[in-house]
Amino acid sequence: MTLEDVDDGGGDRIYDDDNIQRCKCSPNSLNDFGKNNRLLFWTVIWTSLRFFSDSMCSLCAHRGASRQVPFKNSTSHSLTLHPLSLVAPDPTAAWHELSQHQKVVKINAKLPTTEAPSDKLRVVCMSDTHSLTPFIKFDVPAGDVFIHAGDFTKCGSLQEVIEFNNWIGNLTHKHKIVIAGNHELSFDPTFTHPFSVHTSGDHQKHTGTSILDDIPTLGMSKDTLAEAIKTTNVKDYLTNCTYLEDSEIIVNGIKIYGTPWQPEFCKWAFNVPRGEACLSKWEMIPSDTDILVTHTPPVGHGDLCCTGVRAGCVELLSTVQNRVKPKYHVFGHIHEGYGISSDGKIIYINASTCDINYLPSNSPIVFDITLPPGIKKS
């Protein structure tokens, strides 16, 4: 179903009360992009590994202020494990059952043509840039808040983090918010070197992947990966943004919560088993969150892999729909799931910049969110 399908007859309106927009990418971007020999080299590497990539699996009351708040687990509004996680741990099978009672509306986004009004916060979303920001051919739209939903590097090496920090430092947004993804190996202190670890039957069953057995090196030497894993305090190098990890920031009264965890995919960073382990992470999300930022998608929204399997999290969808109920849920991880959808109440945004071939061809997604009554932007 398209945006026009849910129109009320009043013309080409924007879905819901808030303005959802998409930045236009130059039609010649991919042609220009492909002319770069260095990038073509990387494209060959990324393409050869694509079926093994994670895209295959995997109050502030005063004006103009923001503050970051760590959030501790609270069980007062906890959900129990979704029954389908017990009888159908495969997300594809689970969605087959869930979809019979779920509404999924694909949203055709508009281009931003004017500045956001004073009573709205303009949010610009990107994800999964994988150290390829030098090759992006579009301009990042201006806005009040910039959100990156993880996988800003290939492996989380110190040099990659420094380069990303420099890039994001050049953006004009007043508030820049970043979470990690499964590629930020150095950000997860529990991560261990997995070169000899093989994919399990369960992994292959729900991802459809069986081409390679070992963790791919992503075109980088194993020495580089090993060095990235050993790097400590790497988060301290993100000086030009606010890094969220199971924590929130409040911007002009809008509560934004970020978390990097995903259902297990070949033992990458911030991986946890499906079911109870995932639910324990989602229970940390405050129930009054306005914008939720995760790396993984929920099952059924922006999680469909090109093989036809689902990679999203059942427990995340249940948590988002039944307890947290944010206005917006921003994520990435599954490159081919890029786009916007809604269940009629919540707007889901897969902001993956890289496509299935690891070309940074997907433009940022932009939306305006209404500020709480009495709150104005500084």
Statement: the pTM of the whole predicted model exceeds 0.95: no
Count of domains observed in the chain: 1
Task: Flag whether 289 is in a domain.
Answer: yes
DSSP states along 78-113: PPPPPHHHHH--SHHHHHHHHGGG---EE--PBPP-
DSSP 8-state symbol, 198: P
Confidence of residue 376 (pLDDT cuts 50, 70, 90): confident
Task: Flag whether 110 is in a domain.
Answer: no
Nearest to 259 by CA among 276, 245, 272: 245
Is residue 255's pLDDT more than 90? yes
Q: 95-129, pLDDT tens digit by residue?
A: 999 999 999 999 988 878 899 999 999 999 999 99
**The domain spanning residue 148 has which CATH number?**
3.60.21.10
Task: Flag whether 28 is in a domain.
Answer: no
Look at residue 244 in the predicted model and tell me its pLDDT: 99
d(CA 258, CA 245): 6
Ramachandran region, residue 46 (left: φ > 0; alpha: ψ -120 to 50; beta: rest)? alpha
Span 168-175, mean pLDDT?
98
Fill in the amino acid letter for 187: F
Is residue 280's pLDDT more than 60? yes
Confidence of residue 78 (pLDDT cuts 50, 70, 90): low
Is residue 140's pLDDT more than 70? yes
Task: Flag whether 45 is in a domain.
Answer: no
Task: Flag whether 11 is in a domain.
Answer: no
d(CA 50, CA 47): 5
Domain span at 220: 98-105+116-195+214-370
Task: Flag whether 207 is in a domain.
Answer: no
Is residue 200's pLDDT more than 60? no
Look at residue 232 in the predicted model and tell me its pLDDT: 84
Nearest to 298 by CA among 265, 271, 263: 263
Q: What percent of the chain has pLDDT over 90?
A: 59
Angle, alpha carbons 56-272-335 (nearest 5°): 25
Task: Flag whether 22 is in a domain.
Answer: no
Task: Flag whether 203 is in a domain.
Answer: no
Lowest mean pLDDT among 69-83, 141-155, 171-185, 319-333: 69-83
Is residue 17's pLDDT more than 60? no
Look at residue 218 in the predicted model and tell me its pLDDT: 63
